[in-house]
């Protein structure tokens, strides 16, 4: 299946890059930090026979531009721009992993009427505590001084399960981390440090939700995910065995089968 690139001009003059494939109901994919559309390649390929798949590159990542600092709410506005241009008059299925999940929740806050469903993978609803905020500010400073790689290379063993580090998934992850620009990494850290807590809103989300966790996720552990997901009134939970924080890359077959089954059960 052909994956093609579409560039849109959004708020603040930013160029948003979207990688698109397939036809059918629209599914928008939002990647984690500090990645890009490449983490969704298997989904763009394997789901294109039934769905119109759009992988948005968040500001500064992949081919999307960055024009100064932004908030997670700004990224939700970018998603709405993409919907308006590429899927007008349609409700969309939104799939966000980790940082992409923070954006998906903000999208729900403002644009829930446009959502057919919400998939929250390897993410969490709560904001950072003071300690986590400080660590983000330190990383933002460090990457500007030293470049991204020294700070990001230490993340590999936390992002994927240990067994995957030496595999092709580890290689693909390394390539993404090596190409993440320092300014994109710094801006994303600041945006995440300032994000709002969402925990109290969970009981209000009546959209159908799929929550996915990895049994070996060191960043958003499965047990914690199970606890917050219980507050969602209309959800399914899937814990993918042996996978770490990047379930769509580490276990693409299980991830895709779970997602397709969930999406197919939603009314058109
Ligand atoms: C991600 O994968 O997007 C990050 O773990 C999110 C974060 O740093 O909170």
- Residues 120-160 pLDDT 10s: 999 999 999 999 999 999 999 999 999 999 999 999 999 99
pLDDT tens digit sequence for 12-64: 788 999 999 999 999 999 999 999 999 999 999 999 999 999 999 999 999 99
Whether 32 is in the pocket of ligand 1, judged by its Cβ within 6 Å, is yes
220 and 245 Cβ atoms separated by less than 8 Å: yes
Whether 102 is in the pocket of ligand 1, judged by its Cβ within 6 Å, is no
pTM summary value: 0.97
Structure tokens at 231: 């507050």
8 and 76 Cβ atoms separated by less than 8 Å: no
Cα 157 to Cα 246: distance, rounded to the nearest angstrom: 11
User: DSSP label at 113?
Assistant: G
Pocket test for ligand 1, best of 98, 177, 191 (most atoms within 8 A of CB): 98
Distance 137 CA to ligand 1 centre (A): 14
Cβ neighbours, 10 Å, residue 177: 19
Whether 218 is in the pocket of ligand 1, judged by its Cβ within 6 Å, is no
Q: What is the mean pLDDT of residues 105-125?
A: 98
- Which pLDDT does position 27 carry in this prediction? 98
Distance 141 CA to ligand 1 centre (A): 17
Cα 219 to Cα 63: distance, rounded to the nearest angstrom: 26
Distance 267 CA to ligand 1 centre (A): 31
Report how far apart, in Å, the C-alpha atoms of 223 and of each of 123, 214, 219, 236, 237 are.
12, 10, 11, 15, 11
Cβ neighbours, 10 Å, residue 13: 8
Q: What is the mean pLDDT of residues 228-245?
A: 98
Whether 173 is in the pocket of ligand 1, judged by its Cβ within 6 Å, is no
Whether 192 is in the pocket of ligand 1, judged by its Cβ within 6 Å, is yes
Instruction: Kindly give the number of the ligand 1 atom that is closest to the alpha carbon of 128.
Output: 9
Q: Do you find a cis peptide bond into 34, omega within 30 degrees of 0? A: yes
Q: Name the nearest CA neighbour of 61 among 19, 3, 12, 26.
A: 19
The residues, ordered by sequence, that sit 6+ positions from 237 with a Cβ below 8 Å of its Cβ are 211, 212, 213, 225, 226, 229
């Amino acid at each position: 299946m052909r994956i093609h690139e579409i560039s849109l001009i959004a708020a603040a003059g930013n160029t948003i890059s979207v990688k698109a494939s397939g036809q059918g109901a629209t599914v928008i994919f939002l990647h984690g930090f500090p990645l890009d559309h490449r983490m969704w390649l298997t989904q763009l390929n394997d789901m294109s026979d039934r769905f119109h798949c759009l992988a948005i590159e968040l500001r500064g990542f992949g081919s999307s531009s960055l024009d100064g600092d932004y908030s997670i709410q700004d990224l939700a506005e970018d998603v709405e721009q993409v919907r308006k241009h590429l899927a007008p008059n349609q409700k969309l299925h939104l799939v966000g992993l980790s940082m992409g999940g923070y954006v998906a929740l903000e999208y729900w806050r403002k644009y829930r009427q446009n959502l057919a469903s919400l998939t929250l993978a390897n993410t969490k609803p709560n904001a950072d505590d003071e300690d986590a905020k400080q660590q983000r500010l330190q990383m933002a400073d460090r990457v500007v001084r030293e470049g991204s790689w020294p700070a990001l290379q230490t993340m590999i063993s936390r992002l994927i399960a240990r067994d995957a580090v030496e595999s092709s998934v580890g290689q693909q992850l390394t390539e993404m981390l090596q190409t993440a620009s320092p300014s994109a990494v710094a801006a994303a850290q600041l945006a995440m440090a300032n994000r709002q807590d969402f925990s109290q809103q969970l009981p209000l989300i009546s959209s159908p939700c799929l929550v996915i966790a990895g049994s070996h996720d060191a960043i958003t552990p499965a047990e914690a995910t199970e606890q917050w997901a219980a507050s969602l009134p209309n959800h399914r939970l899937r814990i993918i065995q042996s996978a770490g924080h990047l379930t769509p890359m580490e276990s693409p077959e299980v991830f895709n089968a779970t997602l397709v089954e969930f999406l197919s059960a939603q009314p058109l």
